Amino acid sequence: MHVKQIKKAKNWTTREVQQVATLYKRMQELDAAGRLGRGKDFTKSGMVKPLAEKLGRSVPSVECKMMNMSYVLTQFGREWLKGYKPLSNVNGAMYQQMARQFNLIDEVA
């Protein structure tokens, strides 16, 4: 009998979270300028795919991290990026790391 092995998900590094946060912020800027979406200059999927490939992550994995960022933003009363509905499964350390990326909290000493 052949048993399919399940690949264990690797933890997200600080650098990876920074790169996803940078992309999220860029998407927010483009959205505010009316340049993000179907029929516009940029699409979310068109921007996420290259980053996912660069990070060696799946597109759904990066999109899930974007939804985690939306959740963190909502906790500080900030606008989140439409299409990345807030997803609350963020552990404490990741929550703080994401909040720092958006300058919502000071660096922890």
- Ordered per-residue pLDDT tens for the chain, 109 residues: 555 555 567 899 999 999 999 999 999 999 999 999 988 999 999 999 999 999 999 999 999 999 999 999 999 999 999 999 999 999 888 999 999 999 887 654 3
Q: Which domain holds residue 94?
A: 14-101
Cβ neighbours, 10 Å, residue 62: 23
- Domain annotation covers residue 74: yes
Q: pLDDT at position 13, please? A: 94
Kindly state whether residue 1 falls inside one of the protein's structural domains. Answer: no
pLDDT for 108 equals 43
Structure tokens at 4: 């399919």
Alpha helices (H) along 1-91: 14-32, 44-55, 59-75
List phi, psi (to 5°) of 63. Answer: -65, -35
In-domain check, residue 3: no
Does 91 reside within a domain? yes
In a domain, residue 109? The reply is no
Residue 44 placed within a domain: yes
Q: Based on the structure, what is the number of domains in the chain?
A: 1
Say if 18 falls within a structural domain. yes
Q: Is 21 within a domain?
A: yes
Give the 3-state secondary structure of residue 74. helix
